[in-house]
Amino acid sequence: SLENPIHSLLLSLSLSLFLLWKIKVTLIQGDISNPEDVRAAVKGAHVVIHTAGLVDVWGRVRPEKIMAVNLQGTKNVIEACVTQGTQYLIYTSSMEVVGPNIKGHPFYRGNEDTEYEAIHHHPYPLSKAKAEQLVLEANGRLMPDGKRLVTCALRPTGIYGENHLLMKEFYEQGLVTKKFMIRAIPASTEHGRVYVGNVAWMHLLVAQKIQEDSSTIGSQVYFCYDDSPYKSYEDFNMEFLRPCGFRLFGSRPVLPFLLLQFIALINSLLQWLLKPFCVYAPLLNPYTLVISSTTFTVQTDKALRHFGYKPYFTWEESRNRTVRWLQEIRAERQAGK
């Protein structure tokens, strides 16, 4: 999942609220791994939506850094809420706190109560799982003024939308191969995806409800989903790339899966060998191969039942907005030439 776009989206949502209703927005820049910075940012707020996170499943960032931002940062947010008397905390978690696991067990249209063997070795899912646990355990903590902290977590599936860095990377890689791509993963592998605007919308709804009905929302987790169709990663990305003139070749995977596994292994070997000299972090590694070739989709209405969530953007609007953004990149590139 990608958390930065939510951050900017929440920001732009609050900015547009500001323009509409003259709500004041104050930007405070700081380092989330520094408790003092976080305390200063939280001071005076009565709800915190904690979306900050470092997403890396490719080995681009050192594991210690991922832990510092995702885990220590979350500890800092919790402590800041308690010491500053901020009673409500909403945490942007990730579906990856559940799976897909490295064994490749499918999670087919499951909900928040579906049993699944969560196994975390990689720093990113590990840091998110631990941070989510801390947030949920902090629910009910006594604060200096006698009130109790109320917390919950939202777990977005794969987020897409404007400024989706990975989509931009696919777009640029696709230009290298003349907009011609080959299928690597069977089309029957389903992945859950959610539009960034709906992720933001769900945060705003739960932020309101948690203050009105803290006994229902407190310590709960919610998958973060919308009406985006269940498809494989490749077929889903083609929904945006096809209108830009891209083509996906093959109704079945073109390369044998064993070969992909072999390339993934070679990539991780190269990453290890090159470590002293440079960061070699291609998109394909054994972890990303398992993630992209394992079905993981959610089907739930918990957020609808608990706080009346319905997607704000339809699938068609979400797709159109994402396509428009990609086409703007293309226009900018052509103007730049």
Ligand X SMILES: *[C@@H]1O[C@H](CO)[C@@H](O)[C@H](O)[C@H]1NC(C)=O
Give the active site residues: 124
Least gap, CB of 14 to ligand X (angstroms): 24
The answer to whether residue 320 forms part of the interface with ligand X (CB under 6 A) is yes
Going by C-alpha positions, the residue among 85, 91, 93 that lies closest to residue 42 is: 85
- How far apart CA 147 and CA 237 sit, in angstroms, is 46
Q: What is the separation, in whole angstroms, between the first and last Cα of the chain?
A: 32
User: Which positions ≥6 away from 267 have C-beta within 8 Å?
Assistant: 280, 282, 284, 285
Stretch that binds ligand X, among 72-80, 196-204, 315-323, 326-334 (CB under 6 A): 315-323
Count of residues in contact with ligand X, rule CB under 6 A: 3
What the block records as the tokens of 213 is 């009905």
**Shortest separation between residue 316's beta carbon and ligand X, angstroms:** 4
String marking each residue 274-313 x if it binds ligand X according to CB under 6 A: ----------------------------------------
265-274 long-range contacts, CB within 8 A, separation 24+: 268/59, 271/59
User: Minimal distance in Å, beta carbon 241 to ligand X?
Assistant: 15
The DSSP string of 106-137 is -EEEE-TT--------SHHHHHHHHHHHHHHH
Cβ closest to ligand X, residue 116 vs residue 325: 325
- Which of the 8 DSSP states describes residue 69? I
By CB under 6 A, residue 227 contacts ligand X: no
Q: How far apart are CA 258 and CA 99, in angstroms?
A: 22
Indicate the residue among 92 and 237 with the shorter CB distance to ligand X: 237
| Shortest CB 320 distance to ligand X, Å | 4
The distance of closest approach from Cβ of residue 323 to ligand X in the complex, given in angstroms and rounded to an integer, is 8
N residues, the chain? 337
Nearer to ligand X, 79 or 317 (CB): 317
Using the minimum distance from each CB to ligand X, give the nearer residue, 271 or 327. 327
- 101 touches 118 (CB < 8 A): yes
Q: Which of 277, 316, 336, 337 touches ligand X by CB under 6 A?
A: 316
One residue of 112, 162, 227, 317 binding ligand X per CB under 6 A: 317
116 versus 315: smaller Cβ distance to ligand X: 315
Give me the residues that bind ligand X (CB under 6 A), please.
Answer: 316-317, 320
